[in-house]
Chains A and B, each alone.
Chain A
């Protein structure tokens, strides 16, 4: 294990190609993170065409690094202008923006960037520590449990993303699952839903579907909204490098809080469905609850900046765990990343622990090194990176649409995918307009093949009795409990909130 751990690090650091790609990924991730309208999962979907034909490890390192550092730069606009660039940055705004208004923008930025990088590194360490602990658990899972895990993943995502209505999320998740059955049936060779269209025999292109459900609707929404992220003049946010350094030193000064919130974030990341927003808000709440002076929060307390940033970035390390070992993406961003990994030839599952351990360690090191590079870059360029928030969203739309079209075509080299892109984009936009969640779709589509294969194997091994295995019963219980609570929450929203401790 130790051998593999360090040989992976050395192999990564000594490869100019991998390190060069990592540098590009850091820069792109930071730029994308601060640019309005482009979220983490969208950036991965857009990057897929560029890793086409790459080898497994450099391609995976490129995508993971880009995904991991994406959130590090998102807080710049939250702090400097009070406008969160993403859902999880909203928690940082509560104390970050008041600090900027008091003339401490540099201190807030220094603390948030360092905290974010620190969280990312601790998240990777937590993931590494969990490997030997989880190994026997992962290897104990049979095909029956992998099928039920796929359903559990969809249920969790549907529960979290569907607001007070889990059924919409479940329907969208099942829509993804059923579209995954398009193509040749692996057992009988029957071309399902493909007819005479040969390009469909290999199944629906995952890249095309993801781009259609997320990228195109987001771009049309961005185009309809128009405007730029910031209405505030750049001159109003004061900044100095001395303050920035003071902010950096705030993280070692509050090392115990940073460590705790990083671990909390990493653990939240391991639970499918709980996104980075949940991690950020949970950690912010923890910082307030454990503070001796909670009245300072909301008025510019630096702990209120450190806690959400460490938590949301540490989550990425934790989220890799279910994604790589169980094939259940912890979030929609991880689902897109998992889809990209599949394209690169990485097969998630228990074999990652046995046959692909060097790759796992390379990914852990990519998180650590990527975050270190990102902190260094961002501390120097954060002042200028903030200018990107002034870009008019409408100017970005055509460039992203072009990359989307190339991405949809390039994966299989089939023009028919462009037609599918249009059809699925219409459904994606319909979902967006009607307020339905789209994240469960990606999870369903990614997990469809794994779920079908696992179900067939489980049926061959145990017949219908596979439901009665103890682990299977536990997973079924979790699925039913999640649905039951969601229905209860929908029928009696105020009671459910009170039971959870949220008293209005």
Chain B
């Protein structure tokens, strides 16, 4: 875990470097005018990534020399958004790094499951299940509260979008397939 945290900055830089290299490489196959802008942005960005990698290495070396252990994580500047995300919760629960990682995985699981649910069963199939499930099992609300809030909000959203704004949201591949079969 510590090694992962120590190299997290460099990992992010490498991800960015890979993105820019791939995009510039793809752009090299385009006609002159079409590749102009990707080159104007991509090539300096690749150079910036190398500068950043050098600075990451410098920070790590400085951390080792100063004997500060994981200096990378400690000296890393907190941008305004992070500060904002971390700021308000005075009543924040004290969580161990392992527990934090587990929570992250669970929350990502919920998010991915919800998106998969929308793709397969549509918005109106996935939203109530996701809301009730999250409120009951993650936010630890009572069944009554979870069902009331989950179903109430789902119905309200249905009326706002489908009836009020006349927007038809994705119906889901499974639902569309079943409805097509029934229509035949």
Contact = CB atoms under 8 A, between A and B. Distances in A.
A85 interface: yes
20 contacts: A39-B81, A50-B160, A163-B76, A165-B55, A178-B20, A181-B41, A193-B23, A217-B85, A218-B81, A220-B108, A220-B111, A332-B81, A393-B89, A399-B153, A402-B127, A432-B82, A432-B85, A434-B9, A434-B76, A455-B40
A161 B82 CA distance: 10
B30 A190 contact: yes
Interface string A435-464: 111110000000000011001100000000
A392 B36 CA distance: 50
A275 B170 CA distance: 38
Nearest to A444: B41
A171 B13 contact: yes
Nearest to B54: A167
B37 A86 contact: no
B81 A188 contact: no
A87 B91 contact: no
A165 B107 CA distance: 30
Interface in B36-86: 36-38, 40-42, 44-45, 48-49, 51-52, 55, 76-86
Nearest to B106: A223
Chain B, interface SS category: helix
A188 B111 CA distance: 39
Interface residues of B, number: 77
Given A227-B89, A436-B12, A439-B81, A185 B34 contact: yes
B45 A178 contact: yes
Interface string A2-36: 00000000000000000000000000000000001
A277 to B, nearest CB: 7
Interface in A199-228: 214, 216-228
Given A220-B111, A422-B115, A439 B169 contact: no
B93 A439 contact: no
Interface string A276-296: 010000000000000000000
Contacts of A220: 104, 107-108, 111
B93 A432 contact: no
A337 interface: no
B181 interface: no
Nearest to B99: A224
A23 B38 CA distance: 44
A161 B31 contact: no
Interface in A307-365: 332
Contacts of A249: none
Contacts of A156: none
Contact of B79 (A161, A418, A451): A161
B75 to A, nearest CB: 8
Interface string A489-502: 01000000000000
Contacts of B98: none
B15 A430 contact: yes
A87 B108 contact: no
B41 to A, nearest CB: 5
A311 to B, nearest CB: 16
Contacts of A163: 76-79
Contacts of A477: none
B108 to A, nearest CB: 7
A190 B115 contact: no
B73 to A, nearest CB: 8
Contacts of A106: none
B142 interface: no
Given A188-B33, A224-B107, A171 B52 contact: yes
A387 to B, nearest CB: 14
A398 B93 contact: no
Contacts of A415: 118-119, 170
